[in-house]
């Protein structure tokens, strides 16, 4: 029993002495090499434009309706909401791990009542405080904290990558929706033209100038056009449902018919250097933070092989009544060193496992980098070839129109049968539809290029949440 504060001085002196020794040892972290994946400087991309890529890259198309669709998706997407909550969970986990760097203080309040046949009733009151602290001699705890913080940074990049992916999905879905609307307009016009032609043929058949086969063939073309019109109307509804889903809305909401047109292709953006791409893309930054987290895990596994120093201190008081609670009290302080002597190779096996995971992480990161380079090259090559396809379709359509005029004139003068005219008419209408699709595909290839080159999108700039600072801040000792 200690009945005066003066008796506590030797105990707290010894406690402070052990804390001082542990503070010196805390700096003795296990050294490790910083992970730097070896990757030779890749050659520059095949071509490059002059336009810088903005954070909100879809605005380069100059389509206010598209801007609105993407904004609604960033505001309402459930997929993005889930990514945002995963980021919050990662922040909370990192904060939980970092709490191990500080002492743990517990307070206890206890009261009891006892009575037996031979004794009078007695009450007991107890009040105490206990402090526990593990001195991070070799940086094990700090490495675990660092690993979780790095995973939090990776989750933050995953959040930005999810916003980038969502914006690309919405843009593509919007282009497909607009193309379907324009295909409907085109098929409607083609149906009207085919109906005009069949009336002319019916008049010539009535006068005995042609046979019934020509009329029947034209009627078959009308039904074929109607069939395609029904299919494209279905596409319009399906694409609208997809847009609603991406925006976090029910697909049953009314279809908004728009007069939007496919935009003109913007100038080619700057591709930059491959090394810039590695620093810019959120998915590659995510992979790098995951890799560094594996490195921190390995450091923790190495440090786990060395002794641990645990410090504890407590002070308590007990009495039979609350008034006398502080008259008698007791304090204690202790230090414990725990050194692993034999564990059957468990710690060594864990270290080997972490090292293998780290090597696998390096390979995965390098593979992801190569795939990012491939995406850029694929988009650049695809756009070059798609330009040629569009030009070829335009030339074919021009030639078809000239051929149709000649065949139609020959048919009217009886120098050609209607089958040649019909085949040319069908081919011309197909070319019109194919050209519209090819122009939409050219825009989608540009979307793929923007997606492969763009940096992360910060949706919080656009979201309506008033207090959501999701930027990740490191708090561990460096």
The pLDDT of 318-338, averaged and rounded, is 75
Give the relative orientation of helices 282-303 and 346-412 as an angle to the nearest 10 degrees.
Answer: 170
Q: How far apart are CA 336 and CA 394, in angstroms?
A: 83
pLDDT reported for residue 473: 52
- Widest distance between CA atoms in the chain: 133
Token pair in block for residue 437: 């699709």
pLDDT reported for residue 5: 43
Among 42-51, 268-277, 425-434, top mean pLDDT goes to: 425-434
Q: Is the pLDDT of residue 1 over 60?
A: no
Residues 6+ apart with CB under 8 A from 205: 211, 212, 214, 215
The pLDDT of 45-64, averaged and rounded, is 90
Q: Tell me the pLDDT band of 50, cut-offs 50, 70 and 90.
A: confident
Q: Which of the residue ranges 203-207, 252-256, 325-329, 330-334 would you say has the lowest mean pLDDT?
A: 325-329
Rg (CA), the chain: 37
Q: How far apart are CA 143 and CA 210, in angstroms?
A: 89
Q: Is the pLDDT of residue 25 over 90?
A: no
Q: Please give the C-alpha separations between residue 231 and each of 156, 205, 239, 337, 431, in angstroms, as whole numbers.
A: 42, 32, 12, 76, 18
pLDDT reported for residue 385: 97
Whether 51 contacts 268, CB under 8 Å: yes
Question: Can you give the residue ranges of every domain in the chain?
Answer: 5-34+56-113+120-456
Q: How far apart are CA 301 and CA 294, in angstroms?
A: 11
* SS3 of the chain: helix, strand, coil, percent, to 5: 65, 10, 25
Mean residue pLDDT across the chain: 84
pLDDT reported for residue 186: 96
Q: Tell me the pLDDT band of 22, cut-offs 50, 70 and 90.
A: very low
The more confident residue out of 282 and 256 is 282
Beta-strand runs (E) in 158-279: none
pLDDT reported for residue 475: 44
Token pair in block for residue 156: 């933050």
Q: Tell me the pLDDT band of 112, cut-offs 50, 70 and 90.
A: confident
The pLDDT of 433-439, averaged and rounded, is 97
Q: Which of the residue ranges 40-44, 269-273, 348-352, 371-375 would you say has the lowest mean pLDDT?
A: 40-44
What are the phi and psi torsion angles at 320 (to 5°)? Answer: -85, -10
**What's the CATH superfamily of 5-34+56-113+120-456?**
Outer membrane efflux proteins (OEP) (1.20.1600.10)
Closest CA to 455 of 62, 157, 66, 111: 157
77-86 pLDDT, tens digit per residue, is 899 989 889 9
């Amino acid at each position: 029993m200690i009945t005066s504060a003066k008796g506590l001085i030797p105990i707290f002196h010894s406690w402070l002495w052990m804390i001082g020794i542990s503070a010196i040892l805390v700096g003795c972290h296990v050294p490790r090499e910083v992970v730097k994946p070896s990757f030779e400087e890749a050659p520059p991309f095949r071509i490059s434009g002059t336009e810088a890529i903005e954070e909100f890259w879809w605005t380069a198309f100059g389509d206010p309706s598209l801007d609105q669709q993407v904004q609604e998706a960033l505001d309402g997407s459930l997929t993005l909401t889930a990514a945002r909550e995963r980021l919050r969970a990662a922040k909370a986990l990192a904060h939980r791990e970092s709490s191990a760097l500080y002492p743990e203080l517990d307070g206890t309040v206890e009261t009891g009542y006892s009575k037996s046949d031979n004794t009078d009733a007695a009450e007991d009151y107890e009040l105490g405080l206990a402090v526990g602290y593990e001195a991070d001699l070799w940086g094990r705890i700090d490495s675990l904290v660092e690993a979780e913080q790095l995973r939090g940074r990776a989750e933050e990049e995953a959040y930005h990558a999810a916003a980038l992916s969502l914006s690309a999905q919405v843009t593509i879905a919007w282009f497909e929706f607009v193309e379907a609307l324009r295909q409907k307009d085109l098929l409607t016009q083609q149906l009207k033209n085919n109906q005009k032609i069949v009336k002319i043929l019916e008049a010539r058949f009535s006068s005995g100038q042609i046979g019934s086969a020509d009329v029947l063939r034209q009627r078959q073309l009308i039904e074929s056009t109607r069939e395609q019109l029904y299919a494209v109307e279905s596409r319009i509804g399906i694409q609208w449902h997809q847009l609603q889903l991406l925006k976090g809305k029910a697909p049953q909401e009314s279809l908004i018919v728009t007069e939007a047109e496919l935009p003109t292709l913007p100038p080619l953006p700057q591709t930059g250097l491959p090394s810039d791409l590695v620093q810019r893309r959120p998915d590659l930054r995510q992979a790098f933070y995951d890799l560094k987290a594996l490195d921190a895990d390995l450091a923790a596994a190495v440090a786990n092989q060395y002794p641990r120093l645990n410090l504890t201190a407590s002070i308590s008081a007990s009495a039979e009544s609350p008034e006398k609670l502080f008259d008698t009290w007791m304090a204690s302080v202790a230090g414990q060193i725990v050194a692993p002597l034999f564990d059957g190779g468990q710690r060594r096996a864990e270290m080997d496992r972490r090292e293998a995971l780290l090597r696998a992480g390096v390979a995965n990161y390098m593979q992801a980098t190569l795939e990012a380079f491939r995406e850029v090259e694929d988009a650049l090559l695809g756009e070059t070839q798609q330009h040629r396809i569009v030009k070829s379709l335009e030339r074919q359509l021009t030639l078809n129109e000239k051929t149709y005029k000649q065949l139609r004139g020959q048919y009217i003068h009886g120098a050609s049968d209607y089958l040649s005219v019909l085949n040319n008419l069908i081919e011309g209408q197909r070319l019109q539809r194919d050209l519209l699709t090819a122009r939409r595909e050219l825009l989608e290839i540009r979307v793929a290029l923007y997606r492969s080159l763009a940096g992360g999108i910060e949706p919080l700039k656009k979201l309506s949440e008033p207090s959501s600072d999701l930027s990740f801040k490191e708090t561990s000792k460096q």
